[in-house]
Amino acid sequence: MALLEVSNLSIAVAAGGKLLPVVQGISFQVEAGKTLGIVGESGCGKSLTSLAIMGLLEGSQVRIIGGTIHFNGQNMLTLSDKKRREIMGAEMAMIFQEPMTSLNPVYRVGDQIIEAIRQHKKQTKQQARARAIELLTLVRIPDAEKRIESYPHQLSGGMRQRVMIAMALACDPKLLIADEPTTALDVTVQARILELLKELQQQTGMAIVLISHDLGVIAETCDSVAVMYRGKFVEVAPSAELFSTVAHPYTSGLLSSIPVSDHEIDRLDAIPGRVPMLGEDVIGCAFHPRCNLAQECCSLKDPEEVSLTQTHFTRCHFPIGSNL
Amino acid sequence: MTQPAPLLQVNDLKTYFTIGTGGPFGSGKQTLKAVDGISFEIHAGEVLSLVGESGCGKTTVGRTLTQLEPATDGEAYFNGTEILSLPNSQFRPLRREIQMIFQDPFASLNPRLTIEQTLAEPLHIHKLAKNRKEARVLISETLQLVGLDPKVMDRYPHEFSGGQRQRIGIARVMILKPKLVIADEMVSALDVSIQAQVLNLIKDLQRDSGVSMLFISHDLGVVRHISDRVAVMYLGKIVEIGNRLEIFENPSHPYTKLLLSSIPRIKPGRTKVEDLGEPASATSPPTGCAFHPRCAIATEICRSAQPEMNELSETHVSACHNISQLLGGHA
The CATH number of residue B221's host domain is 3.40.50.300
Final residue belonging to a domain, choices A154, A170, A186 = A170
Give the helix ranges, DSSP H, for A13-108.
46-54, 81-87, 99-102
Assess if residue A323 is contained within a domain: no
Which of A153, A170, A187 is where one domain is finished? A170
Q: What is the pLDDT of residues A261-276, one digit of tens each?
A: 888 888 899 899 888 8
The residues in B 163-182 lying below 8 A from A, measured between CB atoms, are 163-164
Query: Which of B141, B159, B177 is the endpoint of a domain?
Result: B177
The answer to whether A68 touches A7, Cβ cutoff 8 Å, is yes
The answer to whether residues B251 and B145 belong to one domain is no
B158 touches chain A (CB under 8 A): no
**B201, B22 in Cβ contact below 8 A?**
no
Residue of A nearest to B244 (CA): A264
What distance in Å separates residue B200's CA from the closest CA in chain A?
Answer: 6
- A39 with A109, same domain? no
In a domain, B1, yes or no: no
CA–CA gap between residue A33 and residue A2 (Å, rounded): 11
Q: How many CB atoms lie within 10 A of CB A86?
A: 14
Same domain, B141 and B257: no
What local confidence, expressed as pLDDT, does residue A192 receive?
Answer: 86
Which residues in chain A touch residue B195, judged by CB atoms under 8 angstroms apart?
257
User: Do B38 and B126 fall into the same domain?
Assistant: no
Closest B-chain CA to A265: B225
Residues A146 and A183 in one domain: no
B20, B63, A258, A312: CA torsion to nearest 10: 30
**What is the distance between the alpha carbons of residues A70 and B142, in angstroms, rounded to a whole number?**
54
Which of B106, B158, B193, B291 to mutate: most A Cβ within 10 Å? B193
CATH of the domain at A278: 3.40.50.300
A286 lies in the same domain as A268:
yes
Mean of the per-residue pLDDT values of chain A:
91
One domain for residues B23 and B133: no
Looking at the fold, whether B124 and B43 belong to one and the same domain comes out as no
Domain end among B177, B203, B224:
B177
Q: Is B3 inside any structural domain?
A: no
Closest CA of chain B from A301, distance in Å: 24
Crossing angle of helices A249-257 and B192-209, rounded to 10°: 50
pLDDT on residue B331: 39
Asked whether residue A108 falls in the same domain as residue A228, the answer is no
Tell whether A164 and A252 lie within a shared domain.
no
Beta bridge partners of B14: B36, B73
What DSSP character marks residue B5?
Answer: P
Whether B331 maps to a domain, the answer reads no
Say whether both B259 and B318 belong to one domain: yes
Tell me: do A107 and A220 sit in the same domain.
no
**Rounded to an integer, what distance in angstroms lies between the CA atom of residue A323 and that of residue B267?**
26
**Residue A190, domain member (yes or no):** yes
Q: Are residue A184 and residue A266 in the same domain, yes or no?
A: yes
One domain, residues A125 and A188: no
Asked if A188 lies within 8 A of B262 by C-beta distance, the reply is: yes
Contacts 24+ apart (CB under 8 A), A107-110: A107/A151, A108/A148, A108/A149, A108/A150, A108/A151, A109/A147, A109/A148, A109/A150, A109/A151, A109/A152, A109/A155, A109/A163, A110/A136, A110/A147, A110/A148, A110/A149, A110/A150
Question: Could you tell me how many residues make up chain B?
Answer: 331
State which of B138, B155, B177 marks the end of a domain. Answer: B177
Q: Give the distance from residue A138's alpha carbon to the nearest chain B alpha carbon, in angstroms.
A: 16
Whether residues B142 and B208 fall in one domain: no
Q: Are residues A221 and A205 in the same domain?
A: yes
Local structure of A192: helix, strand or coil: helix
Nearest 5°: phi and psi at B213?
-135, 140
User: Residue A216: which of B164, B261, B263 has the nearest Cβ?
Assistant: B263
How confident is the model at residue B113, as a pLDDT? 95
In a shared domain, residues B256 and B282: yes
pLDDT at B330: 44
Answer yes or no: do B272 and A191 touch at CB < 8 A: yes
My answer on whether A67 and A212 are in the same domain is: yes
Q: With contacts defined as CB-CB under 8 Å, which chain A residues touch B200?
A: 267-268, 270
Is B255 inside any structural domain? yes
pLDDT digits (tens, 9 = 90+) for B179-226: 999 999 999 888 898 999 999 999 999 999 999 999 999 999 999 999
Question: Cβ atoms within 10 A of the Cβ of A118, count?
Answer: 16
Cβ pair B262:A156 closer than 8 A: no
The number of folded domains in chain B is 2
Q: How far apart are CA A293 and CA A247, in angstroms?
A: 12
Closest by Cα among B155, B294, B288 to A188: B294
Task: Spell out which residues of chain A touch residue B260, defining contact as CB-CB under 8 Å.
Answer: 261
Verify that B309 and B209 share a domain, yes or no: yes
Q: Do B193 and A255 touch (CB under 8 A)?
A: no
CA–CA min distance B154, chain A (Å): 21
Q: What is the ipTM of this complex?
A: 0.86
- Identify whether A213 is part of a domain: yes
> Does residue B28 form part of some domain?
yes
Domain that holds residue A163: 100-170
Does B284 lie in the same domain as B135?
A: no
Q: Say if residue A75 is in the same domain as residue A197.
A: yes
Give the least confident one: A31-35, A55-59, A141-145.
Answer: A55-59
DSSP state of B194: H
Q: Indicate which of A258, A265, A275 best probes the interface with B, i.e. most B CBs within 10 Å of its own CB.
A: A258
Mark yes or no for CB contact A272/B267 under 8 Å.
Answer: no
Each residue's pLDDT, cut to its tens digit, for chain B (331 residues) gives: 556 789 999 999 999 998 876 566 656 778 889 999 999 999 999 999 999 988 899 999 999 999 999 999 999 999 999 999 999 999 999 999 999 998 877 788 999 999 999 999 999 999 999 999 999 999 999 999 999 999 999 999 998 888 899 999 999 999 999 999 999 999 988 889 899 999 999 999 999 999 999 999 999 999 999 999 999 999 999 999 999 999 999 999 999 999 999 999 888 767 778 888 777 777 788 999 999 999 999 999 999 999 999 999 999 999 999 998 888 754 3
Is B2 domain-assigned?
Answer: no
Asked if residue A324 is part of any domain, the answer here is no
Disruptive mutation site among B51, B191, B235, B246 for chain A (greatest number of A CBs within 10 Å): B191
CA atoms within 13 A on the CB side of B3: 9
Q: Is residue A321 part of a domain?
A: no
Residue after which a domain boundary falls, among A149, A170, A191:
A170
Task: Provide the residue range defining the domain that includes B188.
Answer: 8-97+178-326
Chain B residues 235-264 with CB within 8 Å of chain A? 245, 248, 258-264
B17 & B118 share domain: no
Q: Taking 70 as the threshold, does the pLDDT of residue A94 lie above it? A: yes
pLDDT at B241: 98
A231 and A184 within one domain: yes
The number of domains in chain A is 2
